[in-house]
Structure 1
Amino acid sequence: MKSLTNKVVFITGGSRGIGAGIAKRMAAAGADVVITYVQSASQAKQVTDEITKTGSKGLALQVDSASPDAISGAIEKAVSTFGRIDILVNNAGVYIAKPLADLTLADFETSVAVNVRAVFVAAQKAAQYMQSGGRIITIGSNMAERVTFPTGSLYAMSKSALIGLTKGLARDLGEKGITVNLVQPGPIDTDMNPATSAHASMLTSAMAVQQYGKPEDIAELVAYLASAESYFMTGAALTIDGGFNI
């Protein structure tokens, strides 16, 4: 069913991995989809080509999520192109994995800028254009609640901040009929964290369901949160990690 027909979805970091999976799922549900990318223009085009094959419209914009002006400008471009924005999916993120002694203040600033500030900026801007029934969905990480190995300090810190931000935004926007939710994936088979990597067996051994998830698994949960059926869920942090955190 085309449950998102006549809806416009804006997805940051939508050219590959989880973001691309979400973009395709939103298009399959009937939505027009805007994605952002940093460098992978060819991959972004592949995604928009897949979107147009469904009969929906697709638009790819090159955006550095560390730049508040770039994020705001891209959202304005999406609204000027499609006339509206109904669903925001904050997916772009960075993972700087270093021993504590090697981390720099620049690493800290980058982690916060992309993983936290960009989410705030996009939500604040997109909410200006959303009507009742709008949806803001952020992709976080199960590492917000459990860090099982070294080198993940900055990433875990930035993703845990999204829990509080999500709850606060849900309160701020509830009166407008806009819901705000957080999805916290565990190991997902993408080019950044392939199921064939050297550390994959270590991760899967800690899971109740001992296999990596797929981008499509995350996209299905996002599709529910984007739908009218999820109207009564807001401020939630939903962990989807094959039982890694239990």
Structure 2
Amino acid sequence: MPDNEENLPATVKQRFSLRRELEYFFAALRFFTRLPVPKWVGHSSEALDRAARYFPAVGLLVGAIAALVFIVASQIWPMTLAVLAAIASSIYLTGAFHEDGWSDMVDGFGGGWEKAQILSIMKDSRIGSFGAVALVVLLLARFLALVEFDPLIIPMVLLAGHTLSRFASTTLLRALDYVRDEGKAKPLATRIGWRELGFAALTALLPLFFLPPFEAFLGCLFAALATLWLARMFRRQIGGYTGDCLGATQQLAEVAFYAGLLCRFS
């Protein structure tokens, strides 16, 4: 946008504004997935800093693709294989970005006793025994939860789970401070504003309207409790969050959401 933006016609201002928002969305898409983005989208730390509002929207897209994979796969394979294909597709789309954060976080908090040690372990690219076991348990829990749902609603469950869980990790950008001097999440370290957080929340709520209200409420409650538990642990032990903490929050919140949906009281 040129410096004399105020002198431009309203239609031109809207065009520039839309282009900026698209740049923010594509910045988030490129950071969190392997999906291609238009060539005109540059590598801007400012765009990524302002992209936090679109994290749930990225989840909406990833969830939609996973849901489509499930629908197609369920036409030729048993439901268990279709669920596995949907999970595998989401991992491929994101390059296991969040799963890596989950295993690194568990390694760090499981093997470290103080802040410096925890951060050092999380930065190590090698996976330890804590992280390996935690990753297997998480993937198994996700699979076992999804196969319990009626196949007709699994696409909407995937859509809601991927979207809401990314909003859960987005809330850490408001509640906590970034604790590294540098790192893969450093461009995201600016604390998100309330308006941006509200936009992210609205995006996260959209898929929930297609699920049974009470079950959706329980799913959100379980995801919120998982997020609060992790946030409290992050603040107490390292004073804030890292990129791995964001990924771990997304992963646990997603599984917690599925667990809440499956609660039975009869």
- Same fold at TM > 0.5: no
Higher RCO (C-alpha 8 Å, min separation 6): 2
- Computing the radius of gyration from Cα coordinates, the structure with the larger value is 2
Which structure has greater helix proportion? Answer: 2
Which structure has greater strand proportion? Answer: 1
- Taking structure 1 as the reference length, the TM-score comes to 0.32
